[in-house]
Amino acid sequence: MTPTTTPYRAIFCDLITDRTIDILPLGGVSLDDYIGKAGSLSGSIPVPDAELAARVRRIEEGRTSVYLERGGDLWWGGIIWTSTLKSSDKGTVSLDVQAATFDSYAGRRRIREDLSYSSTDQLELARELWRHLQAAPGGDIGVTFGTEASGVLRDASWRDGDEALYSEALEQLAALEDGFEHHISVYRDPATGGRVRRLQLGSPRLGSSSADLVLDRPGSVLSYSFPRDATRGGTTARARGASVNSNQAEESRPLYSSEIVAQDLIDAGFPRIDLSSDHNSVGDPAVLDSLATAELQQARGAVVIPALTVRLDDLVPPALLGRTARVRITDEWFREGLDAHYRIVGFRITPAERGRPDTAELYLEEAAS
């Protein structure tokens, strides 16, 4: 991929100040993003001469961010965490970079102060964790917040010395029964044109007020898959928590939840298949029950994560996550025609290169009725 053949621009910036460092060619790009977890980007910067080498040397892992821009819109933003300088047997030099979305910063920070909240809206708890994360000197990476509310009040606490990751604390809160979804989106402020990093929260799900994105096959849908995986699903669930033992002479055993059972599936003839998860920082049995219940709700029976590969064009917007897609397919399998609504929960973009079209693989879940 070269600057003359791709609609994308790679903008490299200082992580803390967001000051633009340079705009550099980035080839072999692969990028993805998801609701509730960090996305990734990889690519290679060619270094054909000493002048470009001097510019590329300004990239510093852990303190440089990168945005990918397409048609004036920001499609991806995150932090460069690793790089590899390479020289081929023909003497060509390049710098391979790997980055992760700004959500990944919470996975590089640990809670080192006692935090305690009572009867606080769970979305405000998520904001509080990010505010606390960014309050320490050198910790502010410019993530901004809204004022979303869920109506679900929680008690939560973390102790200094447990070295809990902020990302783990967020994931634990989000995974509770009647929990929430989170994602850091990047976009340009419509008034100022400045880049924005914003924590988006939704309970129980992130949504979009935009009109449904209509995807047809034949049409913009190039291929599809509907995998069904019973190894990832189940009909019972139990969550294990922290080890609690007041008598050091006895074996330490973890707390654990009640066994949560999808009795309706078993009554319908499904076999008993057990799910289990570990939450080493949780010492409240009620919280463990909530975690087990939420896990079983997400993985009842067989897990299905449909995926579509679509041609990127002006009809496909950058703000994809949480948006509803109306999928219409007519082929040998769907002879009567599929016409269903799905929510986009993740995507992977493959930029055009060597005659290959600009495409996106969209990961879907059934939209709430």
Residue 208 in any domain: the answer is no
For the chain, what is the mean pLDDT?
91
Candidate ranges 7-11, 125-129, 270-274, 365-369; pick with highest mean pLDDT:
125-129
3-state secondary structure of 50: helix
Q: How far apart are the first and last CA of the chain?
A: 42
Same domain, yes or no: 91 and 137: no
Half-sphere exposure of residue 1: CA atoms within 13 angstroms, side-chain side: 22
Strand partners for 187:
196
Instruction: State what percent of residues in the chain have pLDDT above 70.
Output: 96
In this structure, are 61 and 194 located in the same domain?
Answer: no
**With 50 as the cut, is the pLDDT of residue 37 above it?**
yes
Q: Are residues 219 and 344 in the same domain?
A: yes
Q: Domain containing 146 — which CATH number?
A: 3.55.50
CA distances from 314 to 10, 217, 220 (A): 20, 17, 11
Residues 187 and 222 in one domain: no
Host domain of residue 173:
109-202
Sequence length of the chain is 369
pLDDT at 314: 61
Q: Assess whether 223 and 335 both reside in one domain.
A: yes
Bridge-partner residues for 117, per DSSP? 156
Q: How many domains does the chain have?
A: 4
Is there a contact between 198 and 317 (Cβ–Cβ < 8 Å)? Answer: no
Helix (H, G, I), strand (E, B) or coil at 167: helix
Domain termination site, one of 52, 77, 105? 105
Other C-beta atoms lying within 10 Å of the C-beta of residue 324? 17
Residues with Cβ within 8 Å of 363's Cβ and at least 6 positions away in sequence, in order, are 34, 305, 306, 307, 344, 345, 346, 347, 348
Residue 171: what residue type? E
Q: Model confidence over 115-169: pLDDT tens digits? A: 999 999 999 999 999 999 999 999 999 999 999 999 999 999 999 998 999 999 9
Structure tokens at 342: 């799905």
Least confident of 61-70, 140-149, 289-298: 289-298
Do residues 196 and 134 both lie within one domain? yes
Q: Does 137 lie in the same domain as 63?
A: no
Cβ contacts of residue 209 below 8 Å, gap of 6+? none
